Chains A and B, each alone.
Chain A
Amino acid sequence: MFDPRTKLGISTIAAAGIVISDPLWMVGGAWLGLLLLLTGLGHLQSYARWLLLVLPMTLFFGLVTAWSVDPGAGILAGSKLLTLTTVFFVFFASTLPEDLGNALVKAGMPYTVAFTMSTALQFVPVIGRKARDILDAQRARGIPVEAGWAALKHYPAFLVPLLLQSFQLAESLAEAMEARGFGRPGRSFLTEYRLGARDWAALGVSAAALAALVSVKYGLFASASGKFSSFFP
């Protein structure tokens, strides 16, 4: 729908907005808005799975803040962290790594750097599959790497093959990429990335919303909300 650079810009603006947002209802509102967006994009299920991983970290962060400041600050800090990470979940869920990489090349990043980054993201599931195969192979040999304390004792049985296989895969991929002209000067790009009127409009609206938020926060209600704003400098 939008150029990847637009999406990155909007996400960054949204992140800044969340950092300076308070009271809590604003952050909660933003999170609900993101939830609606995820429903629209059809990523609610994968978000729920991802939430299970992120919630403990959010809780921990909130508790530490609550302990060091006060409970209100803890709830606000935890909610902000959750909403912030959700912004970038939406970004990555709606942007292909390769589109992001190519758009960054267009924005001036060297191709080799952008490609390495997007390929690394692409290979996360491949490495995940290899990790599962290694666990299967070791369990099949009788090495107890099933979840539990015994697995800790046998961690090299998992880590060493995973590292070795990752290096081998990296070398084979590098060879295959060389053989298809990676790094040859004069590369063309199949997908055209162009910032259209819609992109500029979206960026403009987002920037205006942030400006409004800043002026509201630091103008009209600055004295009332100053109490909580210091957790995200």
Chain B
Amino acid sequence: MKGRKPFIQIQGLRYAYRKDGPWILDGIDLNVPAGESLLVAGASGSGKSTLARAVNGLIPHFYGGRFEGDVIIGGISTRQGSVADLFDQVGMVFQNPEAQLFNRSVFREIAFGLESLGLPRREIRRRIHEIAEEMEIVHLLDRSPHSLSGGEQQMVCLSAIAALRPRMIVLDEPFANLDSDNAMRFRRTLTHLRRAGMGVLVCEHRLGHAADDAGRMVILDRGRKIMDGPPAEVMGPGIDAYGLETAPPGGWVQAYEIETPAFRAAPAKASPLMTIEKVSFRRDGRTVLDDVSFSVHPGECVAIVGPNGAGKTTLLKHFNGLLRPSSGRVLLEGRNIRKEKVSRLARHVGMAFQNPTGQFFKLSVWDEITVAARAMNRYDPAWIDELVRLFRLETLTSRPPYRLSDGEKKRVAFAAALSARPDLLVLDEPTSGQDRSFKEALGGFLTALQARGQTVVLVTHDLDFAARYACRWLVLKDGRITTAGTPRRVCRPLGDGVPDSAGIRQRAGGHV
């Protein structure tokens, strides 16, 4: 890093989104030479996404707010240069791939930025084909970006930026929604870009995926730079204090096998609460679920695990009738639910989806938690009080739910899903995009719920979390249950990883 002229120079940067708001970045000094591979790590709210937006000029041009200090990119201050002046210098890949794809086809998606550069047609076509081959997405070029899986969308977003050949690519939490195979593929692609001389700046809190590839690592905490140096030096024992996710050496499978999951196993003779009986589901001529059978017993915590696209969310939507099986039966306490309305079944099955923003419509957290219970005539203030305490929402009850942080929103959604005292709580990817402190808190909530006898089904690709808190795993791959049993049993034959037939491979970081 020494001796090279910095490409990015950040001097005394302080930034607040509102004129009277708190500093989100508070005195950042950072020089990044061209071609460097930098990891900016920090928990949710540490300011890493804000720093990413300051590096390509979106801050202050797009967001306004209070801006002090200087960010100089390739000799141009972001105060003077607009985002359009800088976009071919610093390319930005945002966290949510769906919200940054706005063209009809992948081909057009990659073409958009190249057209902005004013390149001739022949050059645009050449670059599109070149990048598509490099990123192995040639087969997707004619597809609509919105018909792709999350992993494929992420590759398209990266391709659309890499095709511009910026001197540095900034990626905001690129591994948030990727399963392990997609994350590894994404890492290989980034390595390829680094070798081609492109600088890469990754903002992440999942160090398992990002630290190995970085040449330098900066830790942010509450808007301040706390550490800066080679990853091997920075990743010392004190790093846990910053809410980062570090994979244990040698992988997590062995690490947890000696632990006992927080949930107890179901009583062997109890009659099942929910039974999925030979359920198959077909959509658009494709079999999404294929002859799936299992039962969930009262008081147990079951995790449905598997890679992206395995059919996990499709399966959970059968629990409350949002989807009806093409064949087979779903039984709740022995009763077929085929003809029952979803809003009636909600008394028995509470469900919290991955993105809670899609359900909030009340002006206060309290109203949001109670609205469903009231609609079902099951409002019990004492129980709601208990939920508020359990999910530590005491200070948030009068705030508008959509103004909360992502982690807080999820806690509200969990409380809302439990407000009518359902027999079964179903959580869809509850840890997705969350940092370690959230996961620990959620683990605490689940343990407390378990003590009350609550039955829980987790749907997740976060194996580390599933291993700690579920007493039984169902491994779903390509719409079929390939393995089922206690986490220990599912993983025992693995040696150093779950076999491919189970759809899981061991990866540092604990994601399928």
Taking Cβ atoms with an 8 Å cutoff, the residues of A that contact B are 96-98, 119, 122-123, 125-126, 129-130, 133-134, 136-146, 154, 156-161, 164-165, 168-169, 172-184, 186-190, 192
Contact = CB atoms under 8 A, between A and B. Distances in A.
A164 B357 contact: yes
Nearest to A131: B358
B357 A141 contact: no
A190 B417 contact: no
Given A137-B358, A142-B372, A179-B56, A96 B102 contact: no
A190 B357 contact: no
A186 B342 CA distance: 53
A134 B358 contact: yes
Contacts of B420: 142
A122 B105 CA distance: 11
A157 B349 CA distance: 19
B99 A176 contact: yes
Contacts of A186: 118
Closest 10 CB pairs of A and B: A181-B116, A142-B346, A176-B100, A172-B99, A160-B361, A184-B84, A139-B342, A180-B113, A186-B118, A141-B372
A181 B84 contact: yes
Contact of B343 (A143, A161, A172, A190): A143
28 contacts: A97-B104, A98-B108, A139-B342, A140-B342, A140-B353, A141-B371, A141-B417, A146-B343, A159-B361, A161-B361, A165-B358, A169-B99, A172-B94, A172-B96, A172-B99, A173-B100, A176-B94, A179-B58, A179-B91, A181-B84, A181-B88, A182-B116, A184-B84, A184-B118, A186-B118, A188-B115, A188-B120, A189-B121
B121 A130 contact: no
B97 to A, nearest CB: 10
A123 B104 CA distance: 10
Contacts of A140: 320, 322, 342, 346, 349, 351, 353
Nearest to A189: B115
Contact of B358 (A98, A133, A146): A133
Given A141-B416, A189-B115, 6 more contacts: A141-B417, A142-B346, A146-B343, A180-B161, A184-B85, A192-B121
Nearest to A136: B322
A144 B343 contact: yes
A146 B417 CA distance: 18
Contacts of A96: 104
A140 B322 CA distance: 7
A175 B115 contact: no
A88 B62 CA distance: 37
Contacts of A134: 358-359
A123 to B, nearest CB: 8
B319 to A, nearest CB: 9
A139 B322 contact: yes
Most buried by B among A142, A182, A188: A142
A168 B320 contact: no
Interface residues of B, number: 64
Interface in B328-368: 341-344, 346-347, 349-351, 353, 357-361
A176 B116 CA distance: 13
Nearest to A174: B62
B67 interface: no
Contacts of B404: none
A188 B112 contact: no
Given A122-B104, A173-B99, A179 B341 contact: no
Contacts of B271: none
Interface of B: 56, 58, 61-62, 83-85, 87-88, 91-92, 94, 96, 99-104, 108, 111-121, 124-125, 146, 160-161, 164, 317, 320, 322, 341-344, 346-347, 349-351, 353, 357-361, 371-373, 375-376, 402, 416-417, 420
Contacts of B92: 179
Contacts of B146: 125-126, 129
Contacts of A97: 104
B118 A188 contact: yes
A188 B119 contact: yes
Nearest to A144: B343
Given A161-B357, A172-B99, A187 B94 contact: no
A137 B343 contact: no
Contacts of B351: 140-141
A186 B357 CA distance: 39
B87 A181 contact: yes
A130 B44 CA distance: 26
Contacts of A158: 361
Contacts of B91: 179
A125 B58 CA distance: 28
A183 B112 CA distance: 11
Contacts of B111: 190
A175 B358 contact: no
Contacts of B116: 180-182, 184, 187
B58 A180 contact: no
Contacts of A173: 99-100, 102
A223 B479 CA distance: 70
B384 to A, nearest CB: 14
Nearest to A123: B102
Contacts of B373: 142
Contact of B112 (A133, A156, A159, A180): A180
A187 B118 contact: yes
Given A125-B146, A144-B375, A184-B84, A178 B102 contact: no
A156 B359 CA distance: 10
A161 B160 CA distance: 30
A159 B92 CA distance: 32
Contacts of B375: 141-144, 154
A60 B371 CA distance: 39
B58 A141 contact: no
A157 B115 CA distance: 41
A164 B87 contact: no
Contact of B125 (A122, A169, A178, A190): A190
Contacts of A98: 103-104, 108
A142 B115 contact: no
A123 B102 CA distance: 8
A183 B402 contact: no
Given A139-B322, A144-B343, A181-B88, A122 B102 contact: yes
A158 B224 CA distance: 40
B437 to A, nearest CB: 25
A139 B346 contact: yes
Contacts of A119: 102
B358 A161 contact: yes
